[in-house]
Amino acid sequence: QVQLVQSGSELKQPGASVKVSCKASGYSFGTYAINWVRQAPGQGLEWMGWINTYTANPTYAQAFTGRFVFSVDTSDSTSYLQISDLKAEDTAVYFCARTYYDSSGYDSRRFDSWGQGTRVTVSS
Amino acid sequence: DIQMTQSPSSLSASVGDRVTITCRASQSISNYLNWYQQKPGKAPQVLIFAASTLESGVPSRFSGSGSGPDFTLTITSLQPEDSATYYCQQNFNLPHTFGQGTKVEIK
């Protein structure tokens, strides 16, 4: 079955960097995009962007340009989110999610499989 | 960016009640609208895609309707396990914005 398994919780100091992994299994990795979604404590879901797992081309939401980098390792079916110069406001749970769509068309796109989430805490 | 506005922000209903959550887009998005359910401490799960198509394995008490800017998620007979936060999301344009969420509690 399709699975996305993320790396474990991280506690970082302000100014440090963190790299979160999302390992896919159960399907052909390069066929479907991977999205990243942030959820700050007690808040809603915020779409950060996505990466084309075939071309490794990333697309970022405007709020996530500069310090945020998406990457892939196709040999290991793994996507990565790296955040540099961490700030207290980066404290959140970060989810990866696969975009799936079927032959009925682009309106069938949805995030059908999600990682379990990685909690990143930024504190001195 | 397309803004997604859900209402209400929260509701409390009894088991067996019919529950309706609405989602309005700031511009027309055709039927490019998905609904997700998130339980505390868990990842979201897709319920409905393309505004009205039930995801495989999702109970038939969940249904979606609407197009253009206005959409509805209906739970026809609320069950205890439906206690969760529900989010709409548009995938018409980038960024694929979510609504702010509707928390459903069981009385």
Do residues A97 and A115 touch, judged by C-beta distance below 8 A? yes
> Do B79 and B15 meet the contact criterion of CB atoms below 8 Å apart?
yes
Tokens of A31: 């066929």
CB atoms within 10 A of CB A7: 17
* pLDDT for A102 beyond 90: no
Q: Which amino acid is at B106?
A: I
C-alpha dihedral sign at A65, B43, B84, B77: positive
Please give, rounded to a whole number of angstroms, the shortest distance from the CA of A76 to a CA of chain B: 23
CA dihedral of B18, B81, B48, B42, whole degrees rounded to 10: 140
CB A25 within 8 A of CB A5: yes
Q: What is the mean pLDDT of chain A?
A: 96
In this prediction, residues B68-91 reach a mean pLDDT of 97
Average pLDDT of the residues in A52-64: 97
Query: CB distance B43–A114 less than 8 Å?
Result: yes
Q: How confident is the model at residue B14 (pLDDT cuts 50, 70, 90)?
A: very high
pLDDT at A112: 97
CB contact under 8 A, B87 and A45: yes
CB contact under 8 A, B95 and A61: yes
Is A44 in Cβ contact with B98 (below 8 Å)?
Answer: yes
Q: What is the pLDDT of residue A67?
A: 98
CA-to-CA dists, residue A110 to A113, A119, B9, B24, angstroms: 9, 23, 23, 18
CA angle A88, A34, A55 (to 5 degrees): 115
Burial of B4 (0-12, 13-18, 19+ CB in 10 A): buried
Selected for mutation to probe chain A from B89, B96, B97 (highest A CB count within 10 Å) is B96
Q: What pLDDT was estimated at residue A105?
A: 80
Q: How far is B49 from chain A (nearest CA, A)?
A: 6
Chain CA centroid to CA A58, Å? 11
CB contact under 8 A, A106 and B32: yes
Which residues does chain B have within 8 Å of residue A107's beta carbon, measured at their own beta carbons? 30-32, 49-51, 91
Q: How far apart are the CA of B50 and the nearest CA of chain A, in angstroms?
A: 5
Q: Decide if A33 contacts A45 (C-beta within 8 A).
A: no
Q: Do A47 and B97 touch (CB under 8 A)?
A: yes
pLDDT at B42 over 90: yes
Closest in A49, A50, A108 to B49, CB measured: A108
